[in-house]
Every structure is written in structure tokens, then in C-alpha cells.
Amino acid sequence: MSEGLDVEAMLERFAERAKAVKKRNLPPVGGDERKMFIKQAEEDFMDFSIIGDAAASFEDGVLTLSVDFNPKS
């Protein structure tokens, strides 16, 4: 990969972040704040999971992350 950029380590960090979001405690909030917190956690999990599951390639200075959204058979 690129000098100074460990893409595999980066992808692993995103996978770990996705796991951490699932373990995140819900703060003592209610109403609209609670809904906003839960929505943000769901979006964080999705974003971190997508990147954490990506396959990476680095060619000619371009980092490409490939994500297969096809259902697993």
C-alpha cells in the first residue's frame, strides 16, 4: 500500500469501531434526544461496518475500497 498508510489496519479499526457502537451504552436521555442518539448509533454502525468489511487495493496512488452488497448465499 502507500508509504505510511496501513490500509489493512485502517479497515480493522473501522471493524472495531462498528463492534464498539453495538456495545455503546445508551446515556440517560429521553424523548427526541434518545431517538437522535439511537439513529446516530445505527448510522455509525452501518458506516463503520461497510468500510470495515471492504476489500482494499492501492494502485497508482489511488486507494479503492470495494464493498460487495450482494446477498450471501
Q: Judge whether 72 lies within some domain.
A: no
Domain containing 32: what range? 7-66
- How many domains does the structure of the chain reveal? 1
Residue 3: the pLDDT is: 67
- Residue 2, pLDDT above cutoff 60: no
Q: What are phi and psi of 2, to 5 degrees?
A: -75, 145
In angstroms, the first-to-last Cα distance of the chain is: 31
3-state secondary structure of 42: helix
Q: What is the pLDDT of residues 36-72, one digit of tens each?
A: 999 999 999 999 999 999 999 988 889 999 999 998 8
Q: Judge whether 62 lies within some domain.
A: yes
List the grid coordinates of 49: 461496518
Q: What is the pLDDT of residues 7-25, one digit of tens each?
A: 999 999 999 999 999 888 8
3-state secondary structure of 19: helix
Q: Judge whether 2 lies within some domain.
A: no
